[in-house]
Amino acid sequence: MKIKAQMAMVINLDKCLGCHTCSITCKNTWTNRSGLEYAWFNNVETKPGVGYPREWERQEKYKGGWVLKSKGKLELRAGNRLSKLLNIFYNPDLADIDDYYEPWTYDYKALTQSPEKKHQPVARPHSLLTGDPLELKWGPNWEDDLAGAPETGKKDSNLRSLEEKVRLTFEEVFMFHLPRLCEHCLNPACVASCPSGAIYKRDEDGIVLVDQDACRGWRFCMSGCPYKKVYFNWQTRKAEKCTLCFPRLEAGLPTVCSETCSGRVRYVGVLLYDADRVQVAASPVSERELYKNQLQLFLDPYDPEVLAQARRDGLDEDWLAAAQRSPVYKLAVEFGLALPLHPEYRTLPMVWYIPPLSPMMQVVNSGQTEAESGEFFAAIERMRTPIEYLANLLTAGDTETVADVFKKMVLLRQYMRSKNLLGQDVPVEDNPWGLNGAALQEMYALLALAKYRDRFVIPNAHKEKAGDLYERQGMTGYDPA
Amino acid sequence: MGIFWWAIFPYLMITVFVLGHIYRYQKDQWGWTARSSEFLEKKYLKWGSVLFHTGILLVFGGHVVGMLIPEAVTERLGISDKIFHTAAIITGSTAGFITLAGIVLLLVRRVSVKRVRKTSSFADMLIAVLLFLVVSMGLFNTFGFNLFVKSSFDYRATIAPWIRGVLVFAPDPGLMNNVPLFFRLHIIFAFAIFGVWPFTRLVHVWSVPLEYLGRRSYILYRSVGPVAKPVKEWERASGDVG
Ligand code: SF4
Ligand code: SF4
């Protein structure tokens, strides 16, 4: 056993407003530079939809992530190392800028410097690549709130196998928001795809970074990442990606997207995991086992043996304490509410999602004040957002796990409802997950109250142990100059 | 003039080539990249890049054989002059055509696809033009020269010994006296490429990531600091850190 710490995130889709504050603040911090205008390290997609870049989930096209070979060994979907080198002159799997969108700006001078005219002056868009006027046909968030979904929505690969059930007509439509950023995977395909060894995972916190000095621009990381979260800076011709705001994390502050999230739906904390078992956990035959395998990788931060081993592996006391208070551990492991995004890509992603329950409540007869739990649970099957869809997104198709999460969420609502409205502390011990009143109270505090100090439990980095920082200039993801 | 072009200029370019690389490697790791534009344009690049790179690797091999192996050696191996030349013309022309097709595509793409043109640096343009010139003259010398000029010019008796002389620091400019114009230009432009090489995207040639094949692990970890020492025994004993 080799214990490592991983900075991880949980995003509560049940409460995400789709306000894009996270994307904007991230952009203003990290990608407001020439060459990266098109890049959104954090973006918020409306599902169903093809997303950004277009159809990023179609791995048959982009060949991201890992596949299990016949001998039970993991291999990059794009092919082995030799085939990579043979394709080095032209990467057939690369998404190009039109798959994202052609970046543009407006010619604002037309507004501010226009002479008096009969008609209003107009600021027209023009391309940041060529300078030519641009007719906008696609953008970073073209499908916002289902805009165009009747057209593009059908191409959403999560809709596979349920085409008949889902109709994207106005009356029956469903939607939710999916904020996406780099998953800082435990088994990152981007790292494995980089022939120069420029991308690496930090030992201390698991953050995946691109060494700008070592990147030679071969572009395999971009196609290798199944989440399409490595971006090509077309000015510097090097790869850039989300850094999980490590300069902030190191100082104990949450990432910019988390800090500014107006829905307060993001949680950041430490998880302890067994680094020796990562490959095994990523290699089950059945894709549905990936979620459970990954869960089992995470170690109980209260287990004395785990703590002892963690100390032997050099983890500091404040990190162990943070692991014990970690909201991510609570939501993903203890309560089992958060699920990984597309575990079938086998990268073991570390941004997990609480599925959106809300639309279901509309199905329940609103006249009922004391809905029986049976009715609520039955209603889950009739949810507007098909459970199969969420399962394709979060559990490689395992609907039971998603339904289980919803049942817990319903249980929580029922419990709090009777407590707050009826003044009754209904005993709930007989539920299949053994959640008692105290646990539900804690869930409530985390999910509903969502205090800053509970959402973010981030230990400072131990920079005093760092080696020669000057030598490390440029290694951590952005321009050394 | 002969002395300058055939005894000084090559060394000038080689010196810039070597020092330039050392300087750039020290000072500009950040700018050291293949400068790929595939992200902006894929369709033409696919053919242009694959043809050019395959061709140029073959051409490189051909030059090594043709320039560095003296006639005496091949003859002793039982390869007659005639066979050698015929083989050289056939393989050389094939490789040359592949390379030329590639560089023409790439150059046309660079100039005519606006996205690529607008995002090109001066060095990108320069190197594309220089490569086009050198490759087209090279192909003319191998293929066209035999076809149209039909002279009995033998580069293995002139250029090859001269270049071997350059490599051992004993160039004999006299060998180049009767070399046809396009051969001379081919050589001069080729050395010009060596001179600008370290300041262009061509540096990516030295970064071909062959080490990928031998990498022990797919996943790489790096530590921010030296791995921390384990804590003392008495600290380890207590389980709770709350
Ligand atoms: S999500 Fe992030 S860590 Fe995972 S493969 Fe993509 S870029 Fe790498
Ligand atoms: S800021 Fe928060 S609520 Fe708003 S879109 Fe982003 S994750 Fe959702």
Whether the pLDDT of residue B232 is over 60: the answer is: no
Least confident of A157-161, A183-187, B139-143, B148-152: B148-152
Select the more confidently predicted residue: B147 or A283. Answer: A283
Which of these ranges, A242-251, A428-437, B164-173, has the smallest mean pLDDT? A428-437
Minimum mean pLDDT range among A241-245, A326-330, A373-377, B183-187: A373-377
Q: Measured between CB atoms, does A2 come within 8 Å of chain B?
A: no
Give Cα B127 distance to the centre of its chain.
Answer: 11
For residue A373, what pLDDT is reported? 53
Distance, in angstroms, between A281 CA and closest chain B CA? 15
Confidence (pLDDT) at A85:
95
pLDDT digit string, tens, across residues B184-207? 999 999 999 999 999 999 999 999
Give percent above pLDDT 70 in chain B.
Answer: 91
Ligand 1 midpoint to CA A228 (Å): 8
3-state DSSP assignment of residue A9: strand
| Backbone phi and psi for residue B2, each to the nearest 5 degrees, phi listed first | -50, -45
**CB neighbours (10 Å) of residue A403?**
18
**Separation between Cα atoms, residue A259 and residue A452, nearest integer Å:** 9
Going along chain B from its start, the domains and CATH numbers come out as 2-217 (1.20.950.20)
B161: which 2 tokens? 């010994």
A122: left (phi over 0), alpha (psi -120 to 50) or beta: beta
B21 labeled part of a ligand binding site? no
**What is the residue with the minimal CA distance to atom 1 of ligand 2?**
A261
3-class SS of residue B140: helix
Instruction: Give the tens place of pLDDT for each residue, B3-60.
Output: 999 999 999 999 999 999 999 999 999 999 999 999 999 999 999 999 999 999 999 9
pLDDT of A434 over the 80 cut: yes
Query: In the predicted model, is pLDDT for residue B123 greater than 70?
Result: yes
**Residue partners of A272: CB distance under 8 A and separation at least 6:** A3, A4, A5, A6, A298, A299, A301, A306, A310, A315, A320, A323
- How many A from CA of B20 to the centre of ligand 2? 49
**Position of tokens 């799997």?**
A93
Question: Is the model's pTM score more than 0.80?
Answer: yes
Q: A476 to chain B: nearest residue by CA?
A: B224
Q: pLDDT of A312-361, one tens digit each?
A: 999 999 999 999 999 999 999 999 999 999 999 999 999 999 999 866 55
- Cβ under 8 Å to B: A residues 266-285: 278
At B234, is the pLDDT very low, low, confident or very high (cuts 50, 70, 90)? very low
DSSP string, chain B: -HHIIIIIHHHHHHHHHHHHHHHHHHH-STT-S----TTT--HHHHHHHHHHHHHHHHHHHHHIIIIIS-HHHHHHTT--HHHHHHHHHHHHHHHHHHHHHHHHHHHHHHHHSHHHHHT--HHHHHHHHHHHHHHHHHHIIIIIIIIII-----TTTTHHHHHHHHHTT---GGGGTT--HHHHHHHHHHHHHHHHGGGSGGGGGGG--THHHH-S-SS-EE-SSSPPPPPPHHHHH-----
CATH tag, A1-79+151-465: 3.30.70.20
Indicate if ligand 1 lies below 6 Å from the C-beta of A225. yes
Please say if the pLDDT value at position A271 is more than 50. yes
Q: Is A44 in the pocket of ligand 2 (CB under 6 A)?
A: yes
pLDDT given at position A480: 52
Side-chain-side CA neighbours of residue A361 (13 Å): 10
Q: What is the mean pLDDT of chain A?
A: 91
pLDDT, residue A233, reads 97
pLDDT band, residue B242 (cuts 50/70/90): very low
| Lowest mean pLDDT across A3-7, A59-63, A149-153 | A149-153
Model pLDDT, residue A100: 97
pLDDT band at B174 (very low <50, low <70, confident <90, very high): very high
Residues of chain B in contact with residue A321, where contact means CB-CB under 8 angstroms, are 241-242
In A259-308 the beta strands, taken as DSSP E runs, fall at 266-274
pLDDT of residue A331: 98
pLDDT of residue B180: 92
Per-residue pLDDT, B231: 40
Mean pLDDT on A153-159:
85
Percent pLDDT > 90 in chain A is 76
State pLDDT tens for residues A27-44.
999 999 999 999 999 999
For ligand 2, the distance from its centroid to the CA atom of residue A262, given in whole angstroms, is 6
Residue B177 or residue B129, greater confidence: B129
Contact criterion met (CB < 8 Å) for A90 and B118: no
Per-residue pLDDT reduced to its tens digit, A166-196: 666 666 778 899 999 999 999 999 999 999 9
Residue with tokens 């290798």: A224
- B239 pLDDT more than 80: no
Q: What percent of chain B has pLDDT over 90?
A: 73
User: Residue A367 — very low, low, confident or very high, per pLDDT cuts 50/70/90?
Assistant: very low
pLDDT at A84 over 70: yes
> Quick one: pLDDT band at residue B238, thresholds 50, 70, 90?
very low
What ipTM score was computed for the predicted complex, to two decimals? Answer: 0.89
- The pLDDT of A443-453, averaged and rounded, is 96
Instruction: State the pLDDT confidence band at B2, using cuts at 50, 70 and 90.
Output: confident
Determine if residue B186 is labeled as part of a ligand binding site: yes
Least confident of A22-31, A202-211, B95-104, B216-225: B216-225
Nearest alpha-carbon partner for B199 in B10, B24, B19? B24
Question: Residue range A53-82: average pLDDT?
Answer: 95
Residue B29 confidence (pLDDT): 93
Q: What is the mean pLDDT of residues B161-170?
A: 95
Residue A116 token pair: 């008096």
Q: What is the pLDDT of residue A67?
A: 97
**pLDDT band, residue A142 (cuts 50/70/90):** very high
The pLDDT value given to residue A370: 42
In this prediction, residue B225 carries a pLDDT of: 65
CA A277 to ligand 2 centroid distance, Å: 33
Question: How far is the alpha carbon of B97 from chain A, nearest alpha carbon, in Å?
Answer: 18
For residues B135-153, give the mean pLDDT.
82
CB B34 within 8 A of CB A237: yes
Q: Is A79 on the interface with B (CB under 8 A)?
A: no
Q: Is the dihedral of CA A347, A350, A353, A354 positive or negative?
A: positive
The predicted structure's pLDDT at residue A375? 66
pLDDT value, residue A3? 97
Of A481 and A172, the one with more pLDDT: A172
